[in-house]
Amino acid sequence: MEKTGVPHVIFLPFPAQGHIKPMLNLAEILSHAGFQATFVNTEHNHHRILHNTDIHDRFPKFQFKSIPDGFPSDHLRSDLLYIRDFFRSCRVAFKPALRELLISLKEEKEPCQPPTCMIADGIMCFAIDVAEEFEISTIFFRTFSAHCLWTYFHLSKLIEEGEVPFQDENLDKPILCIPGLENVLRRRDLPGFCRTENADDPILQFFIKETSALTRGTGLILNTMNEIEGLMITRLGSFFNKVYAIGPLHALKSRINENSSSSSTSSDGILWKEDKKCLKWLDSKPSRSVLYVSFGSLINLSGEQILELLHGLVNSEKSFLWVIRPDLIVGDATIGDILKEQETGRLERGLIVSWAPQEEVLLHPAIGGFLTHSGWNSTLESIVAGVPMICWPQMADQQVNSRCVSEIWKIGFDMKDTCDRSIVEKLVRELMDNNREEMMESANKLARLARDSIEEDGSSCINLEKLIQDIKSMSSSLTQVHISG
């Protein structure tokens, strides 16, 4: 075989924006190291991306492939029910489709080399079964915090200790059986799926099995940094031969693009069309005067919740920029109906958009705070921008993240398990006025640590170089096999 040892990496994200975005950032970073990249989306998400952007212009070094997700074409695929259904069915549809894709890639003459390794999302662990058939190494990428992954590794222990399911309604009961987090987590801070009545709950068991399967990989990639999660990263080293903490990926990608004179592209608008007019609106606002509000790409809210949040924001008398997706509200209410109930003059301080270029928004000097669902991408982007947070988590890792923000890093307030206009008003005022200097000092300190991590001598850059060299070694090994064969 005349193929050279250029690494060819297959990227397999979980089919949700919060997972696709960091995986795209990672793929772009590795492409700068000379790697060939094949990015695999579901057919549905591939069509959405094509609708919202010219991916071949934005990512000219990639080849994009798509495989079916096993759902009918008219399935909405836009709510948590779809995600739960996907957990149950992904192996049925994805495994054979991924196998066929690898066969086609292996047989292709041009333009790519045979696959060197696969970087798969940490909740797509079935991929390693397929990769092993083709003698391809698998590195797993878990797209949330080290604190959260450490918690996931103790889900079985939580069940054994009788902590899950909860034995009563006291959500403030401390959790004492997770080493290193004994004085941090309460019941309400555990991942959302722990609020189950049955230890055999399929979603809980899914995450227990997926987390255990991570250890079969060659290594683990985390979108975090030693500077803020070093202790948890070290603890995770007891489960993995190699842990590559190389975050914040969006900031690392931007720095590498700047140094290589490449255009830096945000992945905010991959599945949603961005409304960039909000940046001009922010230009007209004083420094640190605007609260940014966004609850990510998956969460659904009732009309009553939207109304409570809106009243709290308006009553705080602070300017706000609020992202309300077209599919955010469940039920018969629409944002138009809700806004009609408000006095026009009371809404003059606010701007509502369907989707925003979040990285740019958070870096804008007018932004003074972030009311967030505490997804890990949003949390990292806020940390890098030095913006303190009000956390309103709803699912999965968000409960752990919000606790870290408030109790470990001291860069925000945790508003979980409440949606009351008076509390929203109080915390907005606390964040933007009463505790402004204290919060900003902590937020600026963490932002400096994040920036330090992506400098050439920073921990994330050093770990990235280790990852690059390890993938190159895999490519060299494959080349030797082909030559000897």
The set of catalytic residues is 19, 121
> Which of 16, 23, 78 is CA-nearest to residue 325?
78
What residues are paired with 390 via a beta bridge? 371, 413
Cα separation, 375 vs 296, in Å, equals 7
What residues are paired with 62 via a beta bridge? 37
Q: Which amino acid is at 313?
A: L
> Can you read off the two tokens belonging to residue 409?
């890093």
Cα separation, 235 vs 386, in Å, equals 27
Cα separation, 215 vs 211, in Å, equals 8
DSSP state of 431: I
Cα separation, 351 vs 323, in Å, equals 9
Q: How far out from the chain centre does Cα 117 lie?
A: 22
DSSP 353-369: ES---HHHHHHSTTEEE
Q: Is the peptide bond before 165 cis (omega within 30 degrees of 0)?
A: yes
> Can you read off the two tokens belonging to residue 103?
């066969």
Cα separation, 440 vs 432, in Å, equals 10
DSSP state of 187: G
> Which of 93, 80, 38 is CA-nearest to residue 61?
38
Distances in whole angstroms, Cα of residue 138 to Cα of each of 67, 214, 238, 372: 19, 10, 19, 33
> Can you read off the two tokens belonging to residue 461?
């850059």
Cα separation, 482 vs 341, in Å, equals 69
Residue 280 backbone phi and psi in degrees, to 5: -65, -40
> Can you read off the two tokens belonging to residue 481?
């096999």
Secondary structure of residue 339 in the 3-state scheme: helix
CA angle 405, 407, 409 (to 5 degrees): 50
- Is residue 388 within 8 A of residue 291, CB to CB? The reply is no
Q: Residue 106: which residues within 8 A CB-CB, separation 6 or more?
A: 114, 115, 134
Cα separation, 39 vs 30, in Å, equals 12
